[in-house]
Structures are given as structure tokens and as C-alpha cells.
Structure 1
């Protein structure tokens, strides 16, 4: 659960202030993978800071730290520094300035995303403890296995359009899988941005790996993913869960 910056002990805030050269804090408005997430501005510039102190939060942030350090390339923000003090793990990431990507039909951001997906589709998984497809999704199929780095959560909140191009943030759920899995997990976000399931499928078909994936495998993925989110939404009042349940259901119905 996201916490306010004021929950941090003084030892932590003092260390951050020393590293950044100041402490003007702007809390993050999206995401929930870290207990503390904020942009901190000082004389050295801006740094995006995440921090955690619970067992689950620290494990998640340590995983994201290891993956972020292992991922190389222009599309992932670098780890600037990290430290542990007073029971908190704190990580400073390169700050990405810009709006979140617009994935609606006809958006110029789709071309930027297409270029990034082409790079990711050929990026080997780094030597880091990544999720397996089953551990990440809750279901499996032999065709989902692979050696490619898969972010698994390319919603608009994790895509930032900077002056230097599209940047992908929040690698807390990265997996090692077949490259088509990334595209399949992107489908609900395209539908949520206004694409019909058919339009989403046609856009994804621009990628060779999508064209070469057995349609029955995609049908299976769409069905199992829709079942998963329907089950999650049934036991939750969270609007985002119900959104994903609706979008995955649309794609499943189209595939079947």
C-alpha cells in the first residue's frame, strides 16, 4: 500500500537529501508497487525515489533493483543509487520527464511503442531472478516459455514519452518468457485505450513474432487471462481490476 513521504524516518530523508542536494518532494500519482514513490528535486537535479520497509515491500523493491541494474538499453531508466538505513531499502532511479503514453487508435505514441517492442522482443533475459510465466500469470503453456526479457505490464502508467524517446519504468514484475507473451499482455491495455479487439489484433500483427505464434495458443492465453481477471474482480471493489476483467473478457470473446 502506498504511504506518504512523511512516514519515512529522518535517517532516510537526510540520506536522500544529501544525495540529491535538497528535498523537494512530489509524490507519484500512479502505481502501487512501492510503499514510497516520489520525485525528489535538489541541486543535482531530479531522482525518482522508491522505498520500502515491510518484508513483502523490500523483497519486491530488491527484485526491481536487481532487474533494473541488469537491464541495459536506452528504454529503461538507470539506477542512480541505492542504500539501506533504519530498516528501509531506498532506490533512486533516473527521472523520466514527460507525459504517459497515449495508446489510443491513431496516436503517434503507438509508433514509439512499436519500436520499443521490436527491441524488447530481441532482448535476452538478463542473469537475474525473473518471474516464470506461471509465477507471473498464474497459468502456463509450453509455448509461453522462452529466454526473452518480458516487462509484463506495459500499461500507459509505465510508459513515459520523454524528449529522448519512450521510456519503460517499473520493472517489478519482469519475467523470462517467449517474446509473444509481452504482446499478449499488452492487448488489454490497447483495448482499454479505445481499440476494438480486432484493431488490437491487427496492430499486434505488425510484429513477426505475433504472426508466427499458433492462433490456438493465443486463444488459450486470452481465455485463461480473462478467467483469471474475472476471478480477481469478483472478490474486489478495485476499479482497475474490473477494468482489466472487462478488457480481457472482450479479447477472449473475440478470439473465441
Structure 2
């Protein structure tokens, strides 16, 4: 649950201010993994700060810290510093300034994402205790196993178009899997951005990993993912869950229809 910057102990805010050269904090408007997620501005520039003190939040942020330190690709924000004070884990990330990516058909941002996907598809998973497909998705298939680093949540909120190119943020759910899994998890976000399921698959076919997957495996993935989100949406009133249930359902329906055509 997100809390206000002013609720932090003074020792924590002072340490951040000493590092940034000021403490003007503006809360992030998206995401809810960290208890504190703010852009802090000072004489030394801007830093995106995440902080947590409850057990789950600390475990999640420590995991994200370890993954971010291990990822050296140009598409991941750098870790500038981190410390622990007064029971809080605090991490300062490179501040990424720019709009969230537009994933609608014909958007130029798709070319940036295409480049990032090619890089990720060749990035070996670091040895930092990543999730496996079953732990991250709740279902599995032998073809999902692999040694590639998978972000698993490449929705527009986690894609920032900066003057230096596309930055992928929030690595809290990073997973070790086959490279096609990243592409399959992107399908609902493409549908939610205005693509049909057929258009989404056609665009993803630009990535070589897409062609390595047996169609029956994609059928299985689409069906199980749709079933998962349909169940979640029935158990929650959250609008984003209903959206994902809709988008994953569209893809599953498309694959069943194509199979029976």
C-alpha cells in the first residue's frame, strides 16, 4: 500500500536529501509495489526513490534491487545508491524522464519496443533467485522453461520513452524463462492498446523467438492465462483486472477460432 513521503522517519528523508542535495518529492502516479515511490529533486539532480519497511515490501524491493544491479542492459535504469535506515530499505534509481510508451498500431514507440525485446531476448538471466514460470504466472508448460531474463510486465506504465531511448522500469517480477514467454505476456497489452489479437501476433512475429514456439503451446498459454484472469476478475472489483481478463480472453478466443477454422 502506497504511503506519503512525509510519513517516513526523519533519519530516512535526511539521508536521501544528503545524497540528492534536496528533498522535493513528487509521488509516482502508477504502480503499487513499493510503499514509497517518488521522484526526489535536489541540487544533484533527480532520483527515483523506492522505499519499503513491511516484510513483503522489503523482500520485493530487495529482489528488484538485486535484479536491477545484475541487469547491465541499456534499457534498464541504473541503481544509483541504496541504504537501510530506521527499519527502511531505500533504493535510488536513475530518473527516467519522458512519456509512457504508446503501443497502439503504427506508433513509432513500437520500433523502440521491438529493439528492446531483441535485446532482452538475448539477455541471460542473472543468478539472483528469479521467479520461474509457475511461480510468476501460476501455471506452467515444459516449453516455458529457459535461461532468459523475462521482465513479465511490459505494459505502457513500465515503458518510458526518454531522450536516450526506451527505459523499462519496475523489475520486481523478473523471471527466468524461455524468451517467447515475454512476447506471449505482451499480447494482452498490445490488445489493450488497440491491436486485434491477430495484429498483435503479426507484430510479435518480428521477433525470432515467436517462430520457435509450437502453436499448440501458444494455445495452451493463451487458454490458461485467460482462465487465470477471468477468475481474478470475478474475485475483485479492480478495473485493471477486468481489463486483463477481457484482453487475455480476446486472445484465447482468437486462437480457438483460428484452430477450428
TM-score higher than 0.5 here? yes
Q: Distance in 1 between matches of 2:3 and 2:245?
A: 27
Q: Deviations along 1:122-163, whole A, 9 cap, x unmatched? A: 110011110000000000000000000000000000000001
Give the Cα separation in 1 of the matches to 2:251 and 2:124: 28
| Distance in 1 of aligned mates of 2:3 and 2:94 | 21
TM-score when normalising by structure 1: 0.99
Q: Could you say which residue in structure 2 is the equivalent of 1:139?
A: 139
Q: Which runs of 5+ in 1 are unaligned?
A: none
Determine helix, strand or coil for the equivalent of 1:237. Answer: coil
Note the C-alpha offset of 1:247.
Answer: 0.4
Partner of 2:169: 169
Normalising by structure 2, we get a TM-score of 0.97
Secondary structure of the 1:124 match is: coil
**Partner SS, residue 34 of structure 1:** coil
- CA shift, 1:119, in A, is 0.6
Distance 1:2 1:215 in 2: 41
Deviations along 1:31-85, whole A, 9 cap, x unmatched? 1111100000000000000000100000000000000000111100010000011
C-alpha deviation, 1:7, in angstroms: 1.5
Give the Cα–Cα distance (whole angstroms) in 2 for the partners of residues 9 and 132 of structure 1.
Answer: 36
- Secondary structure of 1:107's aligned partner: coil
Residue in 1 that maps onto 2:241: 241
Structure 2 gaps of 5+ residues are 257-261
Give the Cα–Cα distance (whole angstroms) in 2 for the partners of residues 9 and 136 of structure 1: 33
How far apart are 1:226 and its partner, in Å?
0.4
Q: How many residues align?
A: 256
Q: Matches of 2:171 and 2:255 in 1, distance apart? A: 29
Aligned Cα root-mean-square deviation (Å) = 0.5
- Matches of 2:4 and 2:203 in 1, distance apart? 40
Runs (4 or more) in structure 1 with deviation over 3 Å come to none
User: Which secondary structure does the structure 1 equivalent of 2:3 belong to?
Assistant: coil
